[in-house]
Structure 1
Amino acid sequence: MQIFAGKWTLLIIFQINRRIIRYGELKRAIPGISEKMLIDELKFLCGKGLIKKKQYPEVPPRVEYSLTPLGEKVLPIIDEIAKFGMENL
């Protein structure tokens, strides 16, 4: 459950679920998140094996994020949390 404790965690997973996404796109898709917080959350989620980071050896640097199979397994849980929130909050 600690995985879902972060304020931004579910939003990040939701955005990455929609497609392979670059850092800048992800930052724009989540208004209000600071750069430091986004970087910290991405590192945390990569460390837990929920998302993967792919870096390309290009100039300027290009980094893409996507869900891992483990990350895809948590999507039904996130859907249930969202349903609960809409019905009860």
Structure 2
Amino acid sequence: MKRRSYTCGLDAAIAVMGGKWKGLILFALHEGPVRFGQLRRAVPGISERVLILQLREMEASGLVHREVYHQVPPKVEYSLTDFGQSLNTALGPLGEWGEEHIDRIEALP
């Protein structure tokens, strides 16, 4: 029998999400395909390098699809896969909880 590498579903979900930026990137992609520049503007505070690395990780894990259009100038769009959309949907209630308690959270030391 194969041994499970995660202790529970939350452990597995957090492993896919890992880090500060992936949730924000998922949220920015929820309305449909977005070009890199639009995505960078939609996620304030992220550097270009970090955004590229996060998108590569998310593409490798199957959360994001990268579509390259061979034209001049080159065009690349990012969108959520069904897997990414399902994670984004699951994060919705967590975001609502955060909005509801944002004042309390900001007051934490």
- TM exceeds 0.5? yes
1:24 aligns to what SS in structure 2? helix
Give the deviation of 1:59 after TM superposition: 1.2
AA in 1 matched with 2:71:
E
Match of 1:32 among 37, 45, 49: 45
RMSD: 1.1
Give the Cα separation in 2 of the matches to 1:85 and 1:31. Answer: 18
Higher-RCO chain (CA-CA 8 Å, sequence separation at least 6): 1
Segments of structure 1 that go 5 or more residues without pairing to the other structure are none
Give the deviation of 1:72 after TM superposition: 1.1
> So what's the TM-score if we normalise by structure 1?
0.92
Match of 2:98 among 55, 73, 85: 85
Q: Percent identity?
A: 38
Give the Cα separation in 2 of the matches to 1:5 and 1:47. Answer: 13
Runs of 4+ in 1 over 3 A off after TM superposition: none
2:50 aligns to what SS in structure 1? helix
Segments of structure 2 that go 5 or more residues without pairing to the other structure are 1-13
Larger Rg: 2
